Amino acid sequence: MDYNLARLSACAHSSAVLSGVVGRQVDIGVISPRNLVYAMQAVSMAQLLFCRNAVEKDQIIMRVYSLYAKLREDRAEVEQAYGYR
């Protein structure tokens, strides 16, 4: 638990520092299949500030799009029932 709080504090500090540098709000998050909707929003709408490994970045983006497409496919019947499609 203490480790997670330390990481959260470090991310909040880093976000504040980056916000000061770029002059706008910056969100820092981990792109993971556990939070697929957030990951999809991040890869489709966010502006990338830094990339250490372009191949790995592209693989992550492809995986997020693939998993999101599967999620939408699995939820299609429910979305149709509620009029979302």
Mean pLDDT across the stretch 10-31? 81
Largest CA distance in the chain: 46
- Domain residue ranges of the chain, discontinuous segments joined by +: 1-29, 31-85
- What are 33's two structure tokens? 């299949």
Residue 26 pLDDT class (50, 70, 90 cuts): confident
CB within 8 Å of 45: residues ≥ 6 apart: none
Cα–Cα distance measured from residue 81 to residue 74, given in angstroms and rounded to the nearest whole number: 13
Pairwise pLDDT comparison (62 vs 21), residue with the higher score = 62
| Secondary structure letter of residue 52 according to DSSP | S
Measured at the CA of 43, the angle between CA 61 and CA 23, to 5 degrees, comes to 140
Cα–Cα distance measured from residue 82 to residue 76, given in angstroms and rounded to the nearest whole number: 10
Mean pLDDT across the stretch 57-67? 94
Q: What is the pLDDT of residue 1?
A: 44
| pLDDT digit string, tens, across residues 29-52 | 778 888 899 999 999 998 887 888
Q: What is the pTM of this model?
A: 0.71
Mean pLDDT across the stretch 64-79? 93
Gyration radius (Cα) of the chain, Å: 16
